[in-house]
Amino acid sequence: MLKYMTKKTKRHEVILATIPLLLITAGCLISEDPFYEENDLVEDDRLIGTYGEQTNRPSWYVEKQIAFNGHYTVTYVDASSPRCHMTFDGALFQIGTNRFLDLVPTLEACDHVGGAASPIEYFQGITLQPLHLLLRISPATNSIQFRIVSEEGRRAALAAAPEMWDTRRPPHLAKMLPNTSKQRQFLARFGSDTNIFSHVSTLYRVKVSER
């Protein structure tokens, strides 16, 4: 995966972005179930490229999954520690007039090479629960604007549609009930609401030289 830091191929194109700080400081919209159904998936060639908050500081890589319509492999590389990276499976989908990216972390502590699963793989399966994380995105020719649910936005969403949330958790830790149908209804109803999707950032296209 890291080879795409210096080289592009015809089969795989790359997107880079700097999302982590925003995900830490914002409320985020998370769920145990996907936010989409298969017929919601779309593709958008404007996503293909290299991006960052600064035009010369890429840190996110997204490869098109050739075999799966609307799916991308998203890898974040920490610029301060290049060996530290995290990979997501990303699904691009549309509800109404809005487009979203559903991100699910891929567990990679150990590469499985066949035979019995390693102890770490067993521990991962028992203790780690990947959650779906939602971004609303608006691609353009030389930039991508994305919105995520802020802490204030999550509280507004809880107040507007409490039946769609796990209210046993504190508001700052609330996640949506695992029900794709209800989550799609939520996005159809509130996907354009900038009071909920209130944390916005713009990522700019970065040129990557081929070697």
pTM as predicted: 0.77
pLDDT band (50, 70, 90) for residue 92: very high
Is 135 within 8 Å of 101 (Cβ atoms)?
yes
Predicted pLDDT of residue 204? 80
Residue with tokens 């604007």: 145
Following DSSP, what letter does each residue of 58-108 receive, concatenated?
Answer: --EEEEE-TTSTTEEEEEEE-TTSTT-EEEEEEEEEEETTEEEEEEEEEP-
Q: Which of 42-46, 86-90, 91-95 has the highest mean pLDDT?
A: 91-95
The pLDDT value given to residue 122: 57
Measured CA to CA, the distance from residue 148 to residue 62 in angstroms comes to: 18
- Write the pLDDT tens digit of every residue in 17-68: 445 544 544 557 888 899 999 999 999 888 777 777 765 565 677 778 888 8
The whole-number pLDDT of residue 79 equals 63
Q: DSSP assignment, residue 121?
A: H
- The full 3-state SS of 18-65, as one line of letters, equals CCHHHHHHCCCCEECCCCCCHHHECCCHHHCCCEECCCCCCCEEEEEC
Q: Which residue has the higher pLDDT, 118 or 132?
A: 132
48 or 163, higher pLDDT: 163
Backbone Cα Rg of the chain: 17
pLDDT of 58:
56
Counts of helices then strands in the chain (DSSP H, E):
4, 9
- Dump pLDDT digits (tens) for 168-195: 877 777 788 899 999 999 999 999 999 9
CA distances (Å), 140 to each of 20, 66, 71, in order?
21, 22, 19
